[in-house]
Chains A and B, each alone.
Chain A
Amino acid sequence: GENVEQHPSTLSVQEGDSAVIKCTYSDSASNYFPWYKQELGKRPQLIIDIRSNVGEKKDQRIAVTLNKTAKHFSLHITETQPEDSAVYFCAALSGGGADGLTFGKGTHLIIQP
């Protein structure tokens, strides 16, 4: 089955700086890579996703890049704000969708004022 590794487990950045979270996956057939944000005490919610036919996708301060050859993808958050503090999960969809999403272990992003 798919295996997703996520780093770092904790990331502390100054407000206004950029944050980068990296994930690698094992199944070369995986074709969909979403990122979820989970605020304290809340459910995970999708913030951005990318499909395997695209190398980069941007939505305001958030961007995701995908390197299929190296089997890794990254989340970039620019101009970080206090409300960006949360746990972020990457995931990969394999098995043509039949196996569902495999999640990384999460990154706790802390924005220092």
Chain B
Amino acid sequence: EAQVTQNPRYLITVTGKKLTVTCSQNMNHEYMSWYRQDPGLGLRQIYYSMNVEVTDKGDVPEGYKVSRKEKRNFPLILESPSPNQTSLYFCASSWGDSLNTEAFFGQGTRLTVV
């Protein structure tokens, strides 16, 4: 089954404790991205990757890191989480070109930083 898988689904952590949210897709998509969803603000892009070893900042990259060592995986890293990073996070993947660009979303990760 074609899917985007995120882990964990829920995470409560303390300020400053490094964490990683994993994202994996099995559709051989080139394009992967991370969004955060906050009430009244919609989906805001954090980072995106056009292909292996190619990553770029989205609209709200501060406090986040990503890596794309393999095509299928795109982990989101919070080196020193702060309470303002409490949010619902979605990973998405797509072919990334202008002809076939439906974005498939993971199940979401609800992160709480206390």
On whether the beta carbons of B40 and A97 are closer than 8 Å, the reply is no
Min C-beta distance of B44 to chain A, whole Å = 8
Within B3-59, the residues touching A (CB, 8 Å) are 31, 33, 35, 40-45, 48, 50, 58-59
On whether the beta carbons of A93 and B90 are closer than 8 Å, the reply is no
Min C-beta distance of A43 to chain B, whole Å = 4
CA distance A89 to B103 in the complex (A): 13
On whether the beta carbons of A105 and B98 are closer than 8 Å, the reply is no
On whether the beta carbons of A100 and B42 are closer than 8 Å, the reply is no
CB-CB under 8 A from B35, the residues of chain A are: 103
Closest chain A residue to B107, Cβ basis? A43
Q: Count B interface residues, CB 8 Å.
A: 24
On whether the beta carbons of A105 and B42 are closer than 8 Å, the reply is yes
- Point out the residue from B31, B40, B58, B90 that lies within 8 Å of A44, measured CB to CB: B90
* Interface residues of A, Cβ cutoff 8 Å to B: 1, 6, 9, 31-32, 34, 36, 43-46, 49, 89, 93, 96-106
Given contacts A44-B105, A98-B96, 20 further A-B contacts (CB under 8 A): A9-B40, A34-B101, A34-B102, A46-B102, A49-B102, A89-B43, A96-B98, A97-B98, A97-B101, A99-B48, A100-B33, A100-B58, A100-B96, A101-B33, A103-B35, A103-B42, A103-B43, A104-B42, A105-B41, A105-B42
* Interface residues of B, Cβ cutoff 8 Å to A: 31, 33, 35, 40-45, 48, 50, 58-59, 90, 96-98, 101-103, 105-108
